[in-house]
Structure 1
Amino acid sequence: MKYAVKTLLLLVSCISFITSTLAQESSDPKAKKILDELSGKTKGYATITASFNSTLENKQANMKVDQEGVIKLKGTKFNLVLDDYIILSDGESTWTVVESDNEVYIDDLSALTGGDINPSEIFTLWEKGFKYNYKGEETVNGKACHHINLYPKNPSEKNYHTIKLYVDKAAMEISKVVVMGKGGDIYTYQIKSFKPNEGLSDALFVFDKKKYPGISVVDNRF
């Protein structure tokens, strides 16, 4: 159940080390200027709807998993559709619907994310707890992008050591995110479409049992 959230740049697999190179990284002015502009633009949107491709790869384990998803954001609320999962949150509780099993799991948001980044923060994740460095310009899907690396300030508390962020220079929007997990897992998220300020009803972020006749409910909040 929690796998669906972790594969959304939420971030899987714990580790126990951080290299001295990363520890010595510091935030640079060019990266900060770009990220501040990106944050300012993103925060100006009332809602965001984005579709994406995600890939989990671990070469050591000879594993590769591809998924497609759509996320809708409204403040701290989110609606995430990822293959067989639908995850809804009103900012406090979450409902994870597993359609193939006709089950829904209810959790507190903090319990579901395990203290990591939650989906509502995905387009402003760099604002808290990160150092960052500008790495240069790269072409991603035919678009010129800024490449900025993010490093957690408290790496021992995170499941990853580096996040590679690619920002479309012309649109000033995130084009790709690569999360480098400590256990060798690499999560790549390609943004396919990004639509701000669509009219999104609050009902999209709350589970409606009437839509799922006979569904089994597992409430983990108590």
Structure 2
Amino acid sequence: MKSFRISAYFFAAMVTLALSATPASAQGDKKSSAILEAMSNKYQKIKSFKAVFTYTPEGGKPLKGEATVKGTKFRLKMAGQEIFNDGKLMATYIKETNEVNLQDFDPTATGDLDPTKIYTAYKKGFKYAFLKEAKEGAKSLEVVELTPTKKDSQVNKVQIAVNKADKSINSWTIFQKNGQEVTYKVNDFQPDVAVADTYFAFNAKQYPGVEVVDLR
């Protein structure tokens, strides 16, 4: 379950990366800074979003997922599991066993992976550099590489592919220090979706017979 939570945090963190303010100070070369700034300008007014994505571990089959984010709240559906986070309580539901684990949400425990702190992490936790231009069908992509500045980060590097035409996020690949490589691709992105706060809180009544494991 830990590996799923990490993957989910990676997704939320890297998608919400686009919503952050522009870099406060130079953390990389001018070209990469300009790309990230343009990407940020596109997304920074978004209050909430829903994203459908494909998650592909290295050597594995593509898995479909869905993420809904509203401010510091998020709900992620991926690989037969869901994470509910209302900003205070985090619930991880496992469909196969009809079990949910409840724990207090501790932003400090997730470090760079915490989607509620990705804005700060982006400004202070990474160096970035323009890597290359690439083609995907008719699309031209600009690839920027992010490198964590913290030695204890689980991430070795992240490569983000940005659509050159409209500065939207196309995909990103995360290289972890344990050698694992994961690629995420955004298939559909809906900005400013109307979603109630209750959507981010786990409701046991909606999951008949669920076993609740309270880890608080």
TM-score range, shorter chain: 0.7 to 0.9
For residue 140 of structure 2, what is the aligned residue in structure 1?
144
Supply the AA of the counterpart residue of 1:117. L
Shift of 1:100: 1.3
For residue 31 of structure 1, what is the aligned residue in structure 2?
32
5+ long unaligned stretches in structure 2: 12-26
Q: Percent identity?
A: 31
CA contact (8 A) 2:56 2:62 kept: yes
Shift of 1:87: 0.7
How far apart are the structure 2 equivalents of 1:110 and 1:135? 34
For residue 203 of structure 2, what is the aligned residue in structure 1?
208
Deviations 1:39-75 (A, max 9, x none): 2322210111111111112xxxxx5253210000101
For residue 20 of structure 1, what is the aligned residue in structure 2?
none
Asked if residue 93 in structure 1 is aligned to residue 89 in structure 2, the reply is: yes
Asked if residue 172 in structure 1 is aligned to residue 167 in structure 2, the reply is: yes
Shift of 1:29: 1.2
Deviations 1:108-146 (A, max 9, x none): 333796324134567996334110001121123542111
CA contact (8 A) 1:8 1:119 kept: no
For residue 153 of structure 1, what is the aligned residue in structure 2?
149
CA contact (8 A) 2:72 2:116 kept: yes
For residue 130 of structure 1, what is the aligned residue in structure 2?
126
Normalized against structure 1, the TM-score is what? 0.82
How far apart are the structure 1 equivalents of 2:120 and 2:37? 10
How far apart are the structure 2 equivalents of 1:184 and 1:162? 11
CA contact (8 A) 2:112 2:121 kept: no
Distance 1:141 1:189, change over 3 A: farther
How far apart are the structure 2 equivalents of 1:139 and 1:48? 27
For residue 76 of structure 1, what is the aligned residue in structure 2?
72
Which moved further from structure 2: 144-153 or 64-73? 64-73
For residue 17 of structure 1, what is the aligned residue in structure 2?
none
Deviations 1:18-50 (A, max 9, x none): xxxxxxxx6111111221222232221011111
How far apart are the structure 2 equivalents of 1:85 and 1:131? 32
- 1:189 corresponds to which of 165, 169, 184: 184
Normalized against structure 2, the TM-score is what? 0.84
How far apart are the structure 1 equivalents of 2:203 and 2:36? 37
Q: Superposition RMSD on alpha carbons, in Å?
A: 2.4
Distance 1:80 1:112, change over 3 A: farther
* Larger RCO, structures 1/2 (Cα 8 Å, 6+ apart): 1
Distance 1:37 1:121, change over 3 A: farther
Alignment of 1:43-58 (within 5 A): 43-57=44-58
5+ long unaligned stretches in structure 1: 12-25, 58-62
Deviations 1:155-208 (A, max 9, x none): x21112110010112222111110111121101001111110111111110011
Supply the AA of the counterpart residue of 2:6. K
For residue 178 of structure 1, give the secondary structure of its aligned residue in structure 2: strand
